[in-house]
Each structure stands twice: as C-alpha cells, then as structure tokens.
Amino acid sequence: MAWNGALPNIRAWPDAAGIGSIALTILAGYLVFPDDLALLARILATSLLVVSLDLLVGFCGIITLGQAALFGAGAYAAGIAAVRGLSEPFSLLAIGAAAGGLTGLVSGAIILRAHGLAQLVLSIAFAQLLAETANKASWLTGGSDGLSGIAPAPLFGEFRFDLLGRTGYLFSAAVLIAVLAVLRAIAGSPFGLLCRGIRADPVRVRAMGVSVYPALLKMYIISGIVAGVGGALSAITTQVVGLDSVGFDLSASALVMLVLGGAGSLYGALLGTVTFMLFQHFVSAENPFHWLTLVGVLLIAVVLIAPRGLAGAARTIASRLVARWHPQASR
Amino acid sequence: MAAAGLEAEGLSAGYGGARILDAVSFSVPAASRLAVLGRNGTGKTTLFATLMGQTRRHAGRIVVGGRDVTSLGSAARARAGLGYVPQTRNIFRSLTVEENLIAGLKGRSRSALGEAYAMFPRLFERRRHRGDRLSGGEQQMLSTARTLLGRPSVLLLDEPLEGLAPIICEELMAALTRQAEAGTMTIALVEQKLESALDFADSVLILERGRIAWAGSARQLRAEHHVIERLLAVGAFAEER
C-alpha cells in the first residue's frame, strides 16, 4: 500500500481481538468446568502475577526472582484491611494495587541500581526480607499460620463470594480483562515501546533523550500495581493469605510460567500460567510422587522445541500458515 | 524546536585511557550544514559520539544553541536538542517500523507519523515489518525518520549513505536536503562519499589523527584538489567533476 497522505490503521485501542478471545475462553471455562471455578479463579489471580513479571522481564529485560514480594504485599494489604473491617471488594483491590505499587517503587528503586546477576540477587534478597517480615509480624499477618478470617462483602452488594467460586471467578475474569486491556495500551504506547527499546539497547534509548532508570522504575511501579491487584484478588477469592504468597517458590514458579508461555507479549504470560497450573493440578492428582519430574520434562521440551515459549510457537505457526495461504500478506 | 548552533571548544576525548580526539574546535551556525570528512580511523565517529556524551571526554566543552551541555549525560543532551543517527543504525530490530517510529514521538501525537511517511514513503509500505526484516537502506531511513520525529535542533548523521544502493542514497539525501532547506535544524554529517557530502554541505571539516587538518567551505574544498588528495586520498575526484 503506497503512502497517500492519510494514516490508516492507527488503532486507539489495540488488540481488541486478542482480549476478546481471552474473554471468550474465560466464559467457556465458566461453562465447561463449573466444578473447578475456585481453581480457575486462582489461575486468573496468578496470571496477573505472571503478567506483572512479563512487564519487567519480557519488556524491560530486568532479571528478577522476587516478584512474589509485590504479589504478597497486595495480598497481605487487602487481607489485613478485610480482617479489620473493610470488606468492599473494589476497595480491597485498590488497597492491594496501592500496596503492590508502593512495594514496586521501593524494591525497584533498589534493584534497578544493579545489573545482571547482582540485580537477580538483590531481587531475591528483597523478597526474602519481605517474607521474613511477614513471618515475624504474626500479630498482623498471622505469621506461619496465615491470615484467615477474610470475608469480602458481596460484589455490588448483591453477589456473595460463594464456595463454588462463581462470583470469585467472574470477578477475577473481569479484573484480568480490564488490566490486560490497559496493559496492552501501555505496551503499544511510546513509553511501552521505549521500555522494549531499553531491553534491546539502553545506550540507543539514552541517545533518544530518554533517561533509562526513571523509565524502568515507572514500569516497576506499574508491575507492582498489577501484581498487587493479583494478590488482592487471590486474598478475596481464596479468603486466606499465607507466607507462600511472598515466598521464593512462587517467584520461581512465576518465572517458569513466563518462560513456558513466552515473554514479551503478555498473552504468553497468560498461556504459560494456564498451562503450568492446569498441568500441575491434573498431573499432581494423577501422580502425586512424580509430577514435578513431569513438569521438568515439559519445561525442557518447550524450551528446546519452542525457545520463545508456547505463544512464540503459536505465532510462528500462524505466520507460516499466513505465508502459505496468503503469500502477498506475508511479504 | 528551532535550529540551533553547535560549538565544540578544545574537545579531547576517547575510549578508556586512549585519546582519539585532540583539541578539536569548530562552530556550526544555526540552520547550516556541515560535513565532517577524513580517512578511516581519524576520529569522525568518535567526534559525534563525544558530542552525544557516549565517550570519555578528557577536555573541552560543547555548546548547543548557546547552552553548555558538556556536563550533561546522553539523554539530557538529546533533550537539549541533539539528534543522533549513528553509523550502526539505531533501530530496535524486534519492533516493527511503525513501533520504532512511535517510540521516537517524544510526546507528540501519533498523527506526527505522517511526517515520517511523507519523508520516506517506503517506510509506510513496510510499516508492519519488523526492523530485522528491513534492508540496510530502509533501516537507515527508519533511523533517520525516528530521530527527525523528535524534532532535534541539531542533527548528527554518521555515514548515512554507507552500504546503500545509489537510488536509496539519492532518496535519503533528497529528504535530508529538504529538511536542511526548511531551516528548522542544523545538520552535521560524517560521510565517505565525497561528492554527496560536498553537494549537501555548506562547510567542511577534515579530521586527521583526531585533529582538524582543514576547515572551510565546500566550495573552497572543491577548488583545493591537493587537500582532497592529501587528506582524503581521493585523487580522481577533480577529474570526475
């Protein structure tokens, strides 16, 4: 198509089709697996953690193994608020987002001072510090017993968070879709694209007039907000917050899920979370002793066969199909 | 941003302990065009990298539009009006053409992309292609267009024509000439293609071993064949003209 002076296809709201597909998949999950909605709600909350990690790892090239700190901060903040009398779900989400964002600001300010392995070690140290604080402050967090007694008020004053997890699932789905829509818009904005530029070459980005550290810190705060929302969702839907929500295992699992799904597109983070957690659920039920071995085998297979993750493999297959059927379009 | 003058005073710089530039001083008036020439390894790229704050400066000062930017970092210099298109073509290879351009908008609305496409219609045709699927000429156009979208007051171009097909060279130089004639920016370029550089520039600097060996107008240099032969080792230039 030749330039004729008019700008076509500049979308104000990118990826409506992608987000629409996710919404349809979530709806299908509701209809097909009505007995597993509690599990599916947990998957959606964890998806937000992995998506938040993708913002740092996939977009900015920040190496971190402490993302659970941001998730756990949101979960504990929402849980503590709920236990102390504030039970309105949207207020709890806002508290979780604020706590995650603040933790992102503090941890990002420290972690971004370093690079490479030093950055990785700092991220682990920060998360461990937060986990130990949560453990010691048992009067506030419940310590190793976990924080229980979280009883969120009915959604819009009407819909109770029932044991089957229907309200929790639909609420989580709506929040996830809204967050994804905002994040895709951020990803396609000059700021989001510059963050991807920083990952490729920070020197080039500096030559474009962008200060790298503040840009990365801004993304860290956004990541913290997203993880905090995920943590708050987890607290609301499971009605308990344990030390595992700030633990190293969760940080490591989130990174595994991201690698499995493919970093840098947000959709890969979703795909990786769903695949990993469903695999974990069903395989551990079938084979409680060796399921971790099977998870290891799956990961090795994906990394070797599809190094850009499941989403990357799907994109490659799609572009080959397009090239075969519509050679003009692929040129 | 309006065109701004560029001054370097006693500039010495290099990489690590090595000194590549030695006491380089020059001044480019606002809205004029400078060509920096010299054989390979004479410090041309280092000069531009130093102006952008990407090397170790040993001495000297840099002034852009009357403002001393010597103590500023690379990003702050870019915000002060310096635009830089390095020899390596600084596109983001994993982003599409359009995404590369959006990344360079610097707060401008997306409708500004039309300026880039009007300047290089080829980029519009390739707007959905990733940077790593572009030819060298298209990458150069993209890098230049993205820098121009930021509306620099001084544009530094390091060997913009290197490795490009003649037709692409013409397209690129025509676009740069239009920008220069609009008077909205000062343009300095390092170029090995002598004819293209002299056609474009008002004034010329020739570097030799990190120092200015000759400075004058492009017209003067055309007349001084011995300078071209001695400093640029281009013996056939006079006859070709």
Q: Which domains does chain B have, with CATH numbers?
A: 6-91+153-240 (3.40.50.300)
Contact list in A for residue B158 (CB cut-off 8 A) is none
Mutation for B interface: A7, A184, A189, A213, most B CBs within 10 A: A7
User: Are the beta carbons of A208 and B103 separated by less than 8 Å?
Assistant: yes
pLDDT at B77 (0 to 100)? 96
3-class secondary structure, A197: helix
Closest Cβ–Cβ partner in B75, B99, B121 for A210: B75
How far away is chain A from the Cα of B56, in angstroms, using its nearest Cα?
A: 14
**Chain B: which residues have CB within 8 Å of chain A?**
52, 54, 73-76, 78-79, 84, 86, 90, 92-95, 99-100, 102-107, 110-111, 113-114, 117-118, 121, 124-125, 146-147, 150
How far away is chain B from the Cα of A323, in angstroms, using its nearest Cα?
A: 14
Nearest residue of A to residue B105, measured between CA atoms? A190
How far away is chain B from the Cα of A208, in angstroms, using its nearest Cα?
A: 6
- Indicate the helix (H) or strand (E) that contains A80: helix A68-83
> Where does B93-157 have alpha helices with state H?
97-103, 113-119, 121-125, 136-149
Nearest residue of A to residue B81, measured between CA atoms? A209
How far away is chain B from the Cα of A210, in angstroms, using its nearest Cα?
A: 5
pLDDT at B240 (0 to 100)? 45
Q: How far lies A316's CA from each of A310, A311, A322, in Å?
A: 10, 9, 10
pLDDT at B235 (0 to 100)? 57
How far away is chain B from the Cα of A201, in angstroms, using its nearest Cα?
A: 8
Strands (E), chain A: none
User: Are the beta carbons of A206 and B93 separated by less than 8 Å?
Assistant: no
Q: Which two three-digit tokens encode residue B117? A: 């496409």
Which residues, 6 or more positions from A84, have their beta carbon under 8 angstroms from its beta carbon?
none
Contact list in B for residue A193 (CB cut-off 8 A) is 92, 95, 99-100, 102-103
**pLDDT tens digits, one per residue of A222-269:** 999 999 999 999 999 999 999 999 999 999 999 999 999 999 989 999
**pLDDT tens digits, one per residue of B179-222:** 888 888 999 999 888 988 999 999 999 999 999 999 999 999 98
pLDDT at A153 (0 to 100)? 93
pLDDT at B24 (0 to 100)? 95
A104 or B241: whose pLDDT is higher? A104
The predicted model scores a pTM of 0.88
Distance of alpha carbon B241 from alpha carbon B233, whole angstroms: 16
Q: Taking phi first (over 0 means left), then psi (-120 to 50 degrees means alpha), and beta for anything else, what does residue B86 get? A: beta
User: Are the beta carbons of A7 and B78 separated by less than 8 Å?
Assistant: no
* Distance of alpha carbon B13 from the chain centroid: 18
Contact list in B for residue A2 (CB cut-off 8 A) is 121, 124-125
Average pLDDT over residues B77-97: 91
pLDDT at B238 (0 to 100)? 47
Closest CA to A111 of A73, A155, A153, A67: A67
User: Are the beta carbons of B94 and A5 separated by less than 8 Å?
Assistant: no
pLDDT at A10 (0 to 100)? 54
Q: How many CA atoms lie within 13 A of B234 on its CB side?
A: 20
Nearest residue of A to residue B150, measured between CA atoms? A208
**pLDDT tens digits, one per residue of B16-67:** 878 899 999 999 999 999 999 999 899 999 999 999 999 999 999 999 999 9
Q: How far lies A170's CA from each of A38, A234, A244, B44, B222, in Å?
A: 11, 13, 24, 62, 76
pLDDT averaged over 10-residue windows placed end to end, chain A, 331 residues: 67 72 92 92 97 97 95 97 94 98 98 94 96 95 91 92 90 96 94 94 90 97 98 96 95 95 93 93 86 86 89 87 72 52
Mutation for B interface: A13, A208, A326, most B CBs within 10 A: A208
- Long-range contacts at A28-37 (CB < 8 A, ≥ 24 apart): A29/A169, A30/A166, A30/A169, A30/A170, A30/A173, A34/A164, A34/A166, A35/A164, A37/A164, A37/A165, A37/A166, A37/A168, A37/A169
**pLDDT tens digits, one per residue of B124-135:** 999 999 999 998
How far away is chain A from the Cα of B135, in angstroms, using its nearest Cα?
A: 13
Domain range summary for chain A, segments of one domain joined by +:
16-247
**Chain A: which residues have CB within 8 Å of chain B?**
1-3, 5-7, 10, 188-190, 193-194, 196-197, 200-201, 203-212
pLDDT at B241 (0 to 100)? 45
Distance of alpha carbon B57 from alpha carbon B153, whole angstroms: 23
pLDDT at A322 (0 to 100)? 82
Question: Does residue B225 carry a pLDDT above 70?
Answer: yes
Q: At what angle do helices A248-261 and A68-83 cross, to 10 degrees?
A: 120
Average pLDDT, chain B: 89
Closest CA to A190 of A316, A2, A10: A10
The answer to whether ipTM exceeds 0.90 is: no
